[in-house]
């Protein structure tokens, strides 16, 4: 569904150039449910905006659903945003129109398709468990209910890709779990590809793959050890034993470079220099601080 290769995004002002993405590589399969995590300023929201056609890359390759986004003209981007991708934002002011009911909010994006808007909107509200709230306006819905309506709106025109930017950032932990469970159910039932951008590492427990962005590049990926349903059955035992739900892998680029986590470097005392020594030992690559004497 998504292929990024050497993706670069530079924001320019009169006196400054900011590299938001610095040669990012990422592949996301069709029908996958995954999360992208990273600290503020890491580049994760920039990546989401480019996947959604809201921003253009400076350089590199970006293929979404077989389409080369760098070759898109403005009319191609409009068509793509209207029919191929759905958005869910953290701020509900970007998702919903406050003076419309839940049903009318979901009907609105369907108007442009000429389809039976009322039937489709009711179907979507039923899918997110809010058919009984169809006549309520924004002020009459809880934060979690508003986010569910936003998900229904994002699905209105049958997109192949759903992008969610901090979708649980404005709700409590109980509602966050319900929203993430809803994403899993939609992913399983209709096969839509879902990419969730967040700064919350706890999301790793709900998705099968997590990509971590650091300094504008994918630094590592975490892959689930067992299926989510198996983990739910073993959750209590797992918590008691302190086992991790995922295995973390560092990402090598085509030149063989990788980002070593700062806490790893701190552990071996290698942060005082910009150099480390590499040694092969029993089939393993060992990192040593530059000042350490050879063994």
Shared domain check, 232 and 286: no
Shared domain check, 292 and 167: no
Shared domain check, 186 and 171: yes
Q: Specify if 122 maps to a domain.
A: yes
Identify the residue with better confidence: 66 or 115: 66
d(CA 90, CA 235): 29
119 contacts 193 by C-beta, under 8 angstroms: no
Shared domain check, 295 and 156: no
Convert the pLDDT of each residue in 165-179 to its tens digit.
988 877 778 888 888
For residue 246, pLDDT over 90 is answered with: no
Quick one: what percent of the chain has pLDDT higher than 90?
Answer: 20
Shared domain check, 231 and 119: yes
Angle between helix 143-154 and 117-127 (nearest 10): 130
Quick one: what percent of the chain has pLDDT higher than 70?
Answer: 86
For residue 240, pLDDT over 50 is answered with: no
Shared domain check, 177 and 202: yes
Please list the residues that pair with 289 across neighbouring strands.
276
Shared domain check, 128 and 105: yes
Q: Specify if 220 maps to a domain.
A: yes
- Cα 151 from chain centroid? 15
Q: Specify if 95 maps to a domain.
A: yes
Residue 191's domain comprises 30-46+73-257
Q: Specify if 62 maps to a domain.
A: no
For residue 141, pLDDT over 80 is answered with: yes
For residue 162, pLDDT over 90 is answered with: yes
For the residues 65-82, what does the mean pLDDT come to?
89
Convert the pLDDT of each residue in 251-266 to its tens digit.
777 777 777 777 777 7
Identify the residue with better confidence: 269 or 6: 6
State the pLDDT at residue 163: 95
Give the global pTM.
0.79
165 contacts 87 by C-beta, under 8 angstroms: yes
Number of structural domains the chain divides into: 2
Shared domain check, 219 and 82: yes
- 82: domain CATH number is 3.40.50.300
d(CA 79, CA 157): 12
Half-sphere exposure of 106 (CA within 13 A, CB side): 32
Q: Specify if 19 maps to a domain.
A: no
């Amino acid at each position: 569904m998504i292929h990024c290769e050497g993706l670069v995004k530079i924001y320019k002002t009169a006196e400054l150039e900011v590299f938001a993405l610095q040669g990012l590589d990422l592949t996301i399969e069709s029908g996958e449910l995954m999360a992208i995590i990273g600290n503020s300023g890491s580049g994760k929201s920039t990546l989401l905006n480019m996947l959604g056609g809201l921003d253009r890359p400076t350089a590199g390759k970006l293929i979404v659903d077989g389409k080369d986004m760098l070759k898109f003209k403005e009319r191609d981007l409009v068509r793509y945003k209207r029919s191929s991708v759905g958005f869910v934002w953290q701020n509900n002011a970007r998702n919903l129109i406050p003076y419309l009911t839940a049903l009318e909010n979901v009907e609105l994006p369907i108007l442009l398709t000429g389809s039976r808007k009322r039937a489709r909107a009711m179907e979507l509200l039923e899918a997110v468990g809010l058919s009984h709230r169809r006549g309520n306006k924004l002020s009459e819905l809880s934060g979690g209910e508003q986010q569910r309506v936003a998900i229904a709106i994002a699905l209105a025109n049958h997109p192949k890709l759903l992008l969610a930017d901090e979708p649980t950032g404005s709700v409590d932990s109980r509602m966050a779990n319900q929203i993430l469970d809803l994403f899993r159910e939609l992913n399983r039932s209709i096969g839509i590809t879902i990419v969730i951008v967040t700064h919350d590492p706890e999301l790793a427990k709900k998705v099968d793959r997590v990509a971590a962005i650091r300094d504008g590049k994918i630094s590592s990926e975490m892959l689930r050890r067992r299926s989510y349903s198996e983990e739910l059955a073993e959750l209590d035992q797992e918590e008691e034993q302190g086992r991790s739900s995922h295995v973390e892998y560092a990402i090598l680029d085509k030149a063989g470079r990788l980002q070593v986590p700062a806490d790893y470097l701190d552990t071996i005392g290698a942060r005082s220099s910009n150099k480390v020594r590499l040694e092969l030992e029993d089939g393993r690559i060992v990192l040593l601080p530059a000042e350490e004497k050879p063994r």
